[in-house]
């Protein structure tokens, strides 16, 4: 399993709107082959971390996955103070199956 991790800052006072947009974007993600799960975290300073889980690196890196991310961005980008920086990691340990 692989994870795409996005780090960014949230526009001050727009944490709720970001979370709502992220929830809406999950409908788009769920259509993507290999998608497993997602989580959005926001700390008190307005730093956000988005983690999406994928069956394999191949699914995560397909052109279709990139198109899916591009479809999601309009739902969340108005509430992002900074552009997301993405990292891809192999999941070494996971507690429960998705």
pLDDT at 40: 96
Sheet with 85-90: list strands edge to edge: 35-42, 47-54, 2-9, 85-90
Q: State the architecture of 2-90 in CATH terms.
A: 2-Layer Sandwich (3.30)
CB atoms within 10 A of CB 27: 10
- The domain segmentation of the chain, as residue ranges, is 2-90
Under a CB-based contact definition with an 8 Å cutoff, are residues 40 and 22 in contact?
Answer: yes
- Per DSSP (E only), the strands in 22-70 are 35-42, 47-54
Q: What is the pLDDT along the chain (98 residues), one digit of tens a residue?
A: 999 999 999 999 999 999 999 999 999 888 888 999 999 999 999 999 999 999 999 888 876 767 777 788 889 989 999 998 999 999 999 888 76
Q: pTM for the complete prediction? A: 0.86
């Amino acid at each position: 399993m692989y994870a795409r991790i996005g780090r960014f800052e949230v526009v001050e006072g727009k944490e709720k709107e970001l979370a709502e947009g992220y929830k809406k974007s999950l409908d788009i993600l769920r259509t993507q082959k290999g998608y497993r799960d997602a989580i959005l975290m926001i700390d008190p300073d307005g730093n956000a971390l988005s983690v999406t889980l994928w069956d394999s690196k191949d699914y995560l890196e397909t052109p279709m996955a990139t198109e899916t991310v591009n479809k999601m961005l309009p739902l969340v980008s108005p509430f992002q103070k900074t552009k997301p920086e993405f990292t891809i990691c192999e999941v070494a340990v996971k507690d429960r199956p998705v």
